[in-house]
């Protein structure tokens, strides 16, 4: 592992365990170079990660202050699979696959992404149960020229693990948007709501490391339980 990652994890652990308590200063960058026996640039890389993840606030002339915000959750921000989130927050989860078939590329994708109109996609619909209640309905559209098929046992587990570990793909970034919209019939059936109720839709356009588009996901959430958190910086 890289030095700055190792140091980041060490500092993160020490903040979490209270060795560096909230609203106190971390050791100065100079002291940290001595503690870890690395250059100041390396320390600064680790501190930048800590800041990005909300653990500290940097202040020129003063020091790096430990915050207590990092405990907050980031369930939607970033690119994480449902399985990763479930493991982090340890809630009981069940997934039911209700569709897994090849289709022609949908029109709305053709409008946004420049691809061959004859390309095929895999359409996957999965219903997520948390505490025996349907909380999320995931629609995945996966580019078949990149991933020819999704075995059913993979669909029931983590398609991201399959992409990254088995197929060796590198997922790089996603363009996400979310908003509220009227419930579809499928939403009504599974969420047990009415036609004039709303759901929250999280749309993601996911890209590989070489910038090829390979997946669109629409996650539909109950209004009452959806929540998004982030730390924004000026």
The answer to whether residue 209 forms part of the interface with its own copies (CB under 8 A) is yes
Q: Which is nearer to DNA, 37 or 196 (CB)?
A: 37
To DNA, the closest distance from the beta carbon of 6 in angstroms equals: 8
List of residues 6+ apart from 219 with CB closer than 8 A? 136, 137, 138, 139, 201, 202, 204
Query: Contact with its own copies (CB under 8 A): which of 21, 30, 34, 78?
Result: 78
Which of 20-28, 158-166, 193-201, 218-226 is the region at the interface with DNA (rule: CB under 7 A)?
20-28
What angle is formed at CA 165 by the lines to CA 164 and CA 171, rounded to 5 degrees? 10
Q: Residue 113's closest CA among 215, 28, 22?
A: 215
Q: Which is nearer to its own copies, 89 or 173 (CB)?
A: 173
The answer to whether residue 59 forms part of the interface with DNA (CB under 7 A) is yes
> How far apart are the C-alpha atoms of 217 and 76, rounded to whole Å?
13
Look at the block and give the residue holding tokens 């998004």: 228
Q: 44 contacts which partner out of its own copies, DNA, none, CB within 5 to 8 A by kind? A: DNA
Q: Which is nearer to its own copies, 132 or 210 (CB)?
A: 210
To its own copies, the closest distance from the beta carbon of 189 in angstroms equals: 20
Q: From residue 34 to residue 63, what is the string marking binding to its own copies with x (rule CB under 8 A)?
A: --------------------x--x-x--x-
Using an 8 Å Cβ cutoff, are 27 and 7 in contact?
A: no
Which of 58-66, 97-105, 111-119, 218-226 is the region at the interface with DNA (rule: CB under 7 A)?
58-66
Burial 36-58 (b: 16+ CB within 10 A, else e): bebeeebbebbbebbbeebbbbe
Burial of 208 (0-12, 13-18, 19+ CB in 10 A): middle
From the CB of residue 226, how many other CB atoms can be counted at a distance below 10 Å? 19
Restricted to residues 199-228, the positions that interact with DNA (CB under 7 A) are: 209-210
Residue 212 phi/psi, 5-degree rounding, is: -75, 135
The answer to whether residue 89 forms part of the interface with its own copies (CB under 8 A) is no
Q: Using CB under 8 A, list all residues that contact its own copies.
A: 23, 54, 57, 59, 62, 65, 67, 69, 72, 77-79, 171-180, 198, 200, 204, 207, 209-211, 223-224, 226-234
């Amino acid at each position: 592992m890289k030095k700055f990652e190792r140091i980041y994890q060490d500092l993160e652990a020490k903040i979490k365990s209270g060795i560096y308590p909230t609203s106190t200063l971390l050791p100065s960058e100079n002291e940290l170079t001595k503690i870890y026996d690395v250059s100041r640039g390396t320390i600064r890389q680790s501190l930048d990660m800590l800041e990005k993840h909300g653990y500290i606030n940097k202040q020129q002339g003063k020091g790096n202050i430990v915050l207590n915000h990092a405990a907050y959750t980031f369930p939607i921000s970033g690119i994480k699979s449902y399985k990763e989130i479930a493991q982090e927050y340890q809630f009981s989860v069940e997934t039911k696959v209700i569709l897994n078939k090849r289709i022609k590329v949908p029109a709305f994708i053709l409008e946004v992404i420049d691809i061959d109109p004859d390309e095929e996609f895999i359409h996957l619909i999965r219903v997520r149960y948390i505490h025996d209640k349907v909380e999320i309905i995931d629609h995945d559209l996966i580019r078949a020229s990149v991933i020819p098929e999704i075995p059913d046992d993979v669909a029931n587990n983590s398609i991201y693990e399959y992409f990254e570990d088995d197929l060796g793909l590198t997922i790089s970034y996603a363009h996400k948007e979310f908003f509220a919209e009227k419930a579809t019939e499928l939403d009504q059936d599974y969420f047990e709501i009415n036609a004039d109720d709303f759901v929250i839709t999280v749309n993601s356009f996911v890209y590989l490391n070489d910038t090829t588009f390979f997946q669109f996901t629409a996650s539909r959430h109950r209004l009452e339980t959806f929540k998004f958190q982030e730390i924004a910086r000026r």
